[in-house]
Amino acid sequence: MDVELIEIREFLASHAPFDQLPAGVLDALPQRLTVRYLRRGTPFPPPDDPEPNLYILRRGAVELRDDTGNLIGKLAEGDLCPRPCEASQADMPFDGQTAEDTLAYLLPCAELEQLRTEHMSFSEHFDASMSQRMRKALDAIRDDSAGTALMTVQVGDLLARPLVHATPDISIQAAAKIMSDARVSSLLLLKDGRLAGMITDRDLRNRCLAAGLPPSEPVHRIMTERLHTVRDSTLGFEALITMSRLNVHHLPVLDEHGVRGVVSTSDLVRVQSANAVYLVGDVRKADSPETLAAISAKLGELQIQLVQSGATANQIGQAITAVTDAITLRLLELAEADLGTPPVPYCWMAGGSQARREQSSHSDQDNALLIADHMQPEDDAYFKALARFVNDGLNACGYVYCPGDVMASNDKWRQPLKIWTKYFNTWIKRPDPMALMLSSVFFDLRPIHDPEGLFGELSERIHAMSKKETIYIAYMAANALKHRPPIGFFRKFVLIRGGEHNQTFDLKHRGIVPVVDLARVYALSAGLDEINTLERLKAAGEARALSADGAANLIDAQEFIGTLRMRHQAAQLKRGEKADNFLAPDDLSALERGHLKDAFALINTMQESLGQRYQAGRFA
């Protein structure tokens, strides 16, 4: 093959959708193309084409404008002319013009149609939306992983044995015999065909034998009544995360007909390692901050294993946060054991990525204390000591002190309910730059320890206040536009120049944070109490705070960018390096770069839309 044709073939093979074509087809394709040079300022596509063609940009740049002259898109190297073979020149939904001297490869529309007819994966590119392409790219990342069993298997498929059950009025001894005969570690208790409770081997030991309860007593005396359940269609990984978060080893499984069985950690272990569950179990047994630090050191390995198993960013975030929550709770228990019973009820609140259940290993810490209003001034000495114990313990476990000092050990963020209410009222009524910065932190709060339910009242007050204040939402919208995706004119990546991270971009602050900020504004505008970014977007779409398509597209963009970030960090951890958020485009395949540009462009479009809705320029 001619050297020039080889160069064209390699170019096509590195760009979607031509990378989906078989090698033999790619070998023959360059000979079916023509090359055209367009000077700057040439209409695009050129009106003098003798026949309609698909334009594939090799070099140069093209601007696309609507009928009012507004810029609606830009094309650069590797991009295709939108809808080239589906409309006549007069019917094109845009006016195009080359913004610089441009070289393009031309594929006749008849040839394009033949390729689409013969190669389904190639054809799907033209039919798929941006969201569908990103979802496909995310699936490709997961398919490259070592194993995806728990990502695809449903818990219903793990229930090999018939349902083992009894009624709550049988004796404890009779229940134990049923479990022994069936060789099961748990027993569902049904009343009139409905789930009434469950007992496990642990309940028999702790609630019967250790408590000296006669085995002749009815089993309902030791059963757990308030049960968390999963559907038979729940993915194995989701069940695993639920077990990790709740520190349980059995979950009843329901289908459309009622109770179907129980899934246990043993069932999941048969499919794949359940490290998150075991880490949480180890945390609960830890007797010192030093022991917790040793357990926490395993989080990097957990992230590596989850990436290798095909987990998405959201799944990894849920798993790692479950361990962080357990460490936080154990530190609180150790603090209370050292300091004594709290003088009044309190709530430990996590902020940031821990609150949103979106952590990687290890994030810095953001937290605060909400204390009952009847606390006395002298009570603060106790809570100050408790906060210092937990903050120091988290730091020892790798969750470094917050650079902005947003921690419970800071006197300002250790306050009774009435003061927290006043804080939010001030921030919402007078949204100056500092208030907006603090709002971005404190509108992402989740209770980690709250035995008296103090957080519920604060949350209700916050959402009631924020939903009514449209000016405040407009300020928050303007604040959400400050973190822009790293993509410039003609879909070119904007990279860091010089320094330690030369020729990279920050996936967290330029990719993840913009979607987090958008989701927060959508949630606040609709008075939604979801905290997780994907849950916020889904709820906002259902509440019509943004379109259903907009919500779905942002969810896919966030998952794609986040999964690339988790994979990048896992590779660093595996090499023994410190994980960071700085990714070089050269570390990605051409297809991944293209999808990442799509994701960044989508986020930018959604930011522009939000800015126009709230006239954010007035509040910047």
Read off the pLDDT of residues 443-480 as tens digits, 9 standing for 90 and up: 999 999 999 999 999 998 888 888 778 888 888 888 88
Scored b (16 or more CB within 10 A) or e, 6-25 reads eebbebbbebbbbbbbeeee
| Backbone angle region of 578, left / alpha / beta, with phi > 0 → left and psi within -120 to 50 → alpha | beta
Helices 548-574 and 130-143 cross at an angle (nearest 10°) of: 30
Candidates 21, 102, 95, 30; CA nearest to 61 is 102
Cβ neighbours for 200, distance < 8 A, ≥ 6 positions apart:
185, 186, 187, 249, 250
CB atoms within 10 A of CB 492: 15
Cα(499)–Cα(497) distance, integer angstroms: 7
Concatenating the DSSP letter of every residue in 243-294 gives: HHHHT-SEEEEEETTEEEEEEEHHHHHHHS--HHHHHHHHHHH--SHHHHHH
Taking the C-alpha atoms of 2, 7, 10 and 16 in order, what is their torsion angle to the nearest 10 degrees? -120
At 233 the three-state DSSP class reads coil
Candidates 313, 399, 400; CA nearest to 358 is 313
Cβ neighbours for 112, distance < 8 A, ≥ 6 positions apart:
54, 85
Q: How many residues does the chain have?
A: 620
Read off the pLDDT of residues 18-60 as tens digits, 9 standing for 90 and up: 988 999 999 999 999 999 999 999 998 888 877 888 999 999 8
Task: Please state, rounded to an integer, the average pLDDT across all residues of the chain.
Answer: 87
Read off the pLDDT of residues 239-253 as tens digits, 9 standing for 90 and up: 887 887 788 889 999
Structure tokens at 74: 């830009």
Structure tokens at 86: 């589906």
Cα(281)–Cα(276) distance, integer angstroms: 9
The answer to whether the beta carbons of residues 197 and 223 sit under 8 Å apart is yes
Q: Report, as an integer, the average pLDDT of 531-540.
A: 95
Confidence band (pLDDT; 50, 70, 90) for 511?
Answer: very high
Q: Report, as an integer, the average pLDDT of 90-102.
A: 77
CATH 3.40.50.720 given to domain 151-235: no
Structure tokens at 548: 């259903």
Helices 513-525 and 533-542 cross at an angle (nearest 10°) of: 40
Structure tokens at 193: 């065909």
The answer to whether the beta carbons of residues 94 and 64 sit under 8 Å apart is yes
| The pLDDT of residue 274 | 46
Order of strands across the sheet with 165-166? 165-166, 186-191, 194-200
Cα(239)–Cα(244) distance, integer angstroms: 9
Cα(444)–Cα(402) distance, integer angstroms: 15
The answer to whether the beta carbons of residues 618 and 611 sit under 8 Å apart is no
Cα(127)–Cα(133) distance, integer angstroms: 10
Cα(31)–Cα(1) distance, integer angstroms: 10
Question: Taking the mean position of all CA atoms in its chain, how far away is CA 124?
Answer: 27
Which element (helix H / strand E) includes 230? strand 230-231
Read off the pLDDT of residues 559-586 as tens digits, 9 standing for 90 and up: 999 999 999 999 999 888 999 999 999 8
Peptide bond preceding 362 in cis form (omega within 30 of 0): yes
| The pLDDT of residue 573 | 92
- Answer positive or negative: Cα dihedral of 574, 577, 583, 589: negative
Thinking of the domain 3-127, which architecture would CATH place it in? Sandwich (2.60)
The answer to whether the beta carbons of residues 581 and 561 sit under 8 Å apart is no
Whole-prediction pTM: 0.75
Residue 118 has pLDDT above 70, yes or no: yes
The answer to whether the beta carbons of residues 602 and 553 sit under 8 Å apart is yes
Cα(531)–Cα(5) distance, integer angstroms: 53
Read off the pLDDT of residues 196-221 as tens digits, 9 standing for 90 and up: 999 999 899 999 998 899 999 999 99
Cα(73)–Cα(96) distance, integer angstroms: 9
Cα(362)–Cα(87) distance, integer angstroms: 52
Domain spans of the chain, in order of start: 3-127, 151-235, 291-618
Residue 91 has pLDDT above 60, yes or no: no
Read off the pLDDT of residues 342-366 as tens digits, 9 standing for 90 and up: 999 999 999 999 999 999 987 899 9
Do 3-127 and 151-235 share a fold? Answer: no
Counting Cα atoms < 13 Å in the Cβ hemisphere of 420 gives 27
